[in-house]
Amino acid sequence: MNTLQFNHTAAQLSPSGGGGGGLNGRKEFTITVYTENQVGLLNRIAIIFSKRKINIDSLNTSPSEVDSVHRFTIVINETEEVVRKLCRQIEKQVEVLKAYYNTNDEIIWQEMAMYKVPTDVIAEHVKVERLLSQHGAKAVVIRKDYTVFEVAGQREETDNLIKVLEPYGLIEFVRSARIAIIKSSDGFHNKLKEFEYKEPGEVVIENEYLSENEKVFSM
């Protein structure tokens, strides 16, 4: 009775292949961590990366679908082996409930970006307004001196708009951390119930090291 079928968990063995990505088999992974809401936990998680001199590309903390449970979304560029070990170290922290990692095709992800441009330029060039709407940008603030647009999308999309706006005097740019939804996740509610039992079932207490290629226990 699997409550969840997430694609990779910290304790899971390598699914077939891996690789594929950029330099030395590195690729982008999104790590999703469910935690208690506790002061200092951000540091505890961050030092797991810095101890190994691994750069965090993006980090977001937010509430999760479960009241009182926090959700970290961390993006790094690494090999799957490194990511798996990192997740095990993360999951080992007392206040961490569970850590998952996913490749980009396993998640729905978005980042939000804001652009500040001079209002007079936009007013002069009709083209700019057209470009903005082509990119799905929405005006957040329009003032006499500047206008702020926002776009939610993937990295390429928000990057493209920078290039587009640069010739017209982009004053300020900022992009948020990535947030991601795991396609195959059924949410954390049932999982949490298991955690709360004093003697959790095998679904929570998995032991997933049978052999490299055979049975891969997901949760």
Partner 1 sequence: MEILEKIKQPATSESKNPSASIPTNSGEGREVSGSEAVLDACVQEGVYTIFGYPGGAIMPIYDALYDYKEKLQHILVRHEQGAIHAAQGFARASGKTGVVFATSGPGATNLVTGLADAMIDSTPLVCITGQVFAHLLGTDAFQETDVINITTPVTKWNYQVTDATEIPAVLAKAFYIAGSGRPGPVLIDITKNAQLQKFQYEGYKKCDHIRSYRPKPIVRKEYIEEAAKLINEAERPFVIFGQGVILGKAENEFKQFIEKGGLPAAWTIMGMSAIPTDHPLGVGMLGMHGNYGPNVLTNECDVLIAIGMRFDDRVTGRLDKYAKQAKIIHLDIDPAEIDKNVKATVGVWGDCKETLPLLTELLQQKVYPTWLQKFHDFMAKETEKCIQPELNPTGDTLTMGEVIKTLNELTNGDAIIVTDVGQHQMVACRYAKMNHSKSNITSGGLGTMGYALPAAIGAAYGDPSRTTVAIIGDGGFQMTLQELGTIMQFKPNVKILILNNQFLGMVRQWQQLFHEKRYSFVDITSPDFVAVAKGYYIDGQRVSERDKLKYALQTMLNHDGSYLLEVMVGKENNVFPMVPQGRGVAECVLSKEEI
Which residues contact partner 1 (rule: CB under 8 A)?
A: 10-11, 13, 35-36, 39-40, 43-44, 47, 51, 84-85, 88-89, 91-92, 94-97, 192, 195-196, 198-202, 204-207, 209-212
Q: Of the two residues 3 and 104, which places its CB atom closer to partner 1 in the complex?
A: 3
Whole-number minimum distance, CB 42 to partner 1, in Å?
A: 10
Distance in angstroms (rounded) separating the CA atoms of residues 201 and 213 = 25
Shortest distance in whole angstroms from residue 49 CB to partner 1? 12
Comparing CB distances to partner 1, the nearer of 88 and 175 is 88
Q: Please, what is the minimum distance in Å from the beta carbon of residue 192 to partner 1? A: 8
The closest of 151, 24, 41, 155 to 93, measured between CA atoms, is: 41
Between 23 and 94, name the residue whose CB sits nearer to partner 1. Answer: 94
Supply the DSSP string of 56-125, one letter for each residue: -SEEEEEE-SSTTEEEEEEEEEE-HHHHHHHHHHHHHSTTEEEEEEEEGGGEEEEEEEEEEEEHHHHHH-
Angle (deg, nearest 10), helices 126-134 and 155-165: 180
Comparing CA positions, the residue from 160, 108, 121 lying closest to residue 137 is 160
The minimum distance between CB 6 and partner 1, in angstroms, equals 17
Minimum separation from the CB atom of position 104 to partner 1 (A):
24
Nearer CB in complex with partner 1: 55/68: 68
When the beta carbons of 60 and 93 are compared against partner 1, the nearer one is 93
How far is Cα 103 from Cα 32, in angstroms, rounded to an integer? 11
